[in-house]
Structure 1
């Protein structure tokens, strides 16, 4: 059983190792921290921490570094979230304030978070499986190109380019728009997909160019609604992994692959258990089932019109957990408020 002072020694080791990248010895702890005891006493505390597998010696006769288990104890019991500075809070608001659709807000969110933390920033889109389509718009661009816009009650705006063979006058365009709207507007995403499928399965003899174009647009809308049901991540700051490659014992390739594929990170984020503040952390070997045993991820829940999702950062286990958790929480709170204001304005 580790003593209370031993736990505070663990806190000092974690903080100093994160700050310096160097193994931490008893002499350094005595010099940097006011424990009021001798280096020999600190060495005894460190020996107890090592017995508990909370710290380890990377080299013979060197100082000690935290283990994944040590980081877990630190995060669960010793870490105190550091309040963001006024400059950091201003940076968040300057990145996120201003008009924009949901895609734009998500992109700005990860840029703000990677700027604050220096890690890979991740934001999970809220689930749109229960969203209802509120509007469909068709904009003829010329050259057989048609811009198809789909809007849901959760604020998601989709824009896709359809290619049709003919140009249509305003009356035809209004008829096509009304045909699509009849199928999907005021319908939940799943219902809209099914109604389009049923419509396209019907028998129609020698359809006119307008009907052919309408069917092609309907197929595209169905594809877009299917994407609305899929979980999705937006990320920024992948280059930070390369800059911190020395913090990883092995290759950073599994992390780069997970960033590219997204499925692994979605599963991992989905299984993380948040505390009462909505914060969750998964450290090192806890991520081994996902092939990310050398990485840590910290997240904070945010609310998007009743749907919960997560924003967080991914990086090496040697990360500044208190600052990263505080940054994720602050960005999540700002994002929640921004989405609530957008919802109330519609």
Structure 2
């Protein structure tokens, strides 16, 4: 026989489930009719009274049913025994859709679009952070005898192209030498180490290579060190409008959330705090430090591969959210984004 606490959690779980699907306050009669709780209506009413007294549910209007509070959602999320698994077909479809991306930007855009469609929430994804990136390959392409194109490919799939204006013409042999020197200095190194190595390269080469090395190093250091990594990709912002009633129908509340998404700093901070692939973090309502998004919940995790974290990914939406499904979707998309990018 289940304990009183287990029975009351089953009542709370049923209230959350019904409210997420109907967006209507839930009464005791509906719970007894829809869920096999195995107890009488009187017992359910008593359990609901206790849950309300303890702050897990509330009554929005006199003579109405009950709805979960932020504390109730937290209890529900903390005691989810099993996240809804994605089917083999769903997982395969996600992987094939992401693999169809032509480059890093396309893969990330596909990821947020897919995650927004799966969860019907706003999907957010942080561009691969430079601090975690390594240089996979560097290519030197002569455009003319006095101009080079440097192509830097990171292990996250990011590709940077930079022009180098030379002070004098350069031979094919010198181009080949430069390619070898830069490759030896950069490839396989994290960006911080790579920037130091390329900066020191000018002191290690013959006189005839010093000018092209110095000019190339100057361009590369700017690429490796000074570029901002704080950038988000968003998808499904229109889902906020569809869920407007969850924010009290107030234009001001909706505006605050949209401003937070546009400014990005608040959301980036949340993603940065949850960058452990395989570990999903759920923040609900009043748990948010920033007042702009206190009417929302954020489900997030890290994505990456081979022990490296590239960035964060998640969804933002109302506290009335299908948490098991959203957690499963965020986990799956994060996993496959990491696999796709690491394979490129």
Which residue is 2:234 aligned to? 235
TM-score (norm 2): 0.79
Q: How many angstroms apart in 2 are the aligned matches of 1:9 and 1:226?
A: 54
Cα deviation code 1:222-255 (max 9, x no counterpart): 2321267835443322222222222113512332
* Number of residues of Structure 1 aligned to a counterpart in Structure 2: 332
Q: How many angstroms apart in 1 are the aligned matches of 2:222 and 2:257?
A: 29
Deviation at 1:7, TM superposition (A): 1.1
Which residue is 2:55 aligned to? 53
**Among 324, 327, 331, the residue aligned to 2:326:** 324
- 1:224 to 2:213 alignment: no
Q: CA 1:220 to 1:246, structure 2 compared with 1: closer, same or farther past 3 Å?
A: farther
**Among 259, 262, 275, the residue aligned to 2:261:** 259
Of 109-118 and 296-305, deviating more is: 296-305
Contact 1:305–1:339 at 8 Å: present in 2 too? no
Deviation at 1:140, TM superposition (A): 6.0
Deviation at 1:179, TM superposition (A): 7.2
Q: CA 1:23 to 1:217, structure 2 compared with 1: closer, same or farther past 3 Å?
A: farther
Q: Which runs of 5+ in 1 are unaligned?
A: 201-209
- 1:116 to 2:115 alignment: no
Which residue is 1:36 aligned to? 38
Which residue is 2:288 aligned to? 287
4+ residue segments displaced more than 6 Å: 165-170, 213-216
TM-score (norm 1): 0.79
Contact 2:12–2:76 at 8 Å: present in 1 too? yes
- In the TM superposition, 1:104-253 aligns within 5 A as 104-129=106-131, 131-139=133-141, 147-152=149-154, 154-160=155-161, 162=163, 171=172, 184-185=186-187, 187-194=189-196, 218-226=217-225, 230-249=229-248, 250=250, 251-253=253-255
- 1:9 to 2:11 alignment: yes
Q: CA 1:197 to 1:238, structure 2 compared with 1: closer, same or farther past 3 Å?
A: farther
Deviation at 1:328, TM superposition (A): 1.4
Which residue is 2:306 aligned to? 305
Q: CA 1:88 to 1:168, structure 2 compared with 1: closer, same or farther past 3 Å?
A: farther
Contact 1:264–1:290 at 8 Å: present in 2 too? no
Deviation at 1:338, TM superposition (A): 3.5
